[in-house]
A = this chain, B = another copy of it.
């Protein structure tokens, strides 16, 4: 496991400095916006989404330079979603990863605009990827937009808000999870695949999709087990299954993810990553 943790750390650092560079160079007059964007983008934790982009690209023989812009774009979208999620009108959170949330430091208006600007920047970064074809960039932009938008992450947030008012059915709760978190995790992996030249319609793309969907769902169920007892009124996977059933489901999903990916040469790190995500006390 040591290799994996080291790779996670190295990738996180790479992404952190690449994003920092993308966010530099704006005019002095709007430094409060740049500072606000950088503040949230720099406290990125493990950065599992861009990790997937980079490592899937590597497995398929892609260039790191081609994967990096897409990896940064997905992390910018993830970061914007956290900033907006933390706002008083949403989850109203004051602390994230041990630091005051963006609006606590910069005020609500700047936090709102920093989120908007990060989302917008993600599309700029994806569409200026010099190491792929125009067709590839168009596919990446579309993938990002469809999965971050109303029929993806944002739709999932709407369902999540609905779940605070009324109990979600098992079907709707699963849909909420797939949309809110699953879509972006899947997109992260698919962007890596795409940057290596395997777009929609290839076996590589299909396998990457299955791998990412399975680890994404396992990750979310594991999250609910780890959070057990902290959010009593919220619908979670444990509203529909026991902890033992949930652990069994995680194992199933992880094994499925591994089985589709392990046939590829160089898949070891992604196999380890699947275990790591579903078993985060390691």
Tell me the A residues contacting B by CB distance below 8 Å.
Answer: 23, 26-27, 29-30, 32-34, 37, 80, 84, 87-90, 107-110, 112-113, 115-117, 119-121, 123-124, 126-128, 133-135, 137-138, 141-142, 144-146, 148-151, 154-155, 157-159, 161-162, 172, 175
Contacts and interface: CB of A to CB of B under 8 A. Distances in A.
B141 A127 contact: yes
Given A29-B175, A145-B123, A90 B112 contact: yes
Nearest to A33: B158
A30 B123 contact: no
A62 B32 CA distance: 41
A interface: dominant SS: helix
B89 A154 contact: no
B145 A84 contact: no
A52 to B, nearest CB: 20
A228 B60 CA distance: 62
A135 to B, nearest CB: 5
Contacts of A149: 117, 120-121, 124
A109 B127 contact: no
Contacts of A138: 127, 134, 137-138, 141
Contact of A34 (B109, B112, B142, B150): B150
Contacts of A30: 150-151, 155, 158-159
A116 B33 contact: no
Contacts of A155: 26-27, 29-30, 33, 117
B154 A117 contact: yes
A120 B34 contact: no
Contacts of A120: 119, 145, 148-150, 154
Chain B CB within 10 Å, residue with most, of A23, A149, A175: A149
B150 A26 contact: yes
A11 B76 CA distance: 35
Nearest to A91: B109
B109 A161 contact: yes
A108 B159 CA distance: 15
A139 B159 CA distance: 34
A125 B150 CA distance: 13
B112 A84 contact: yes
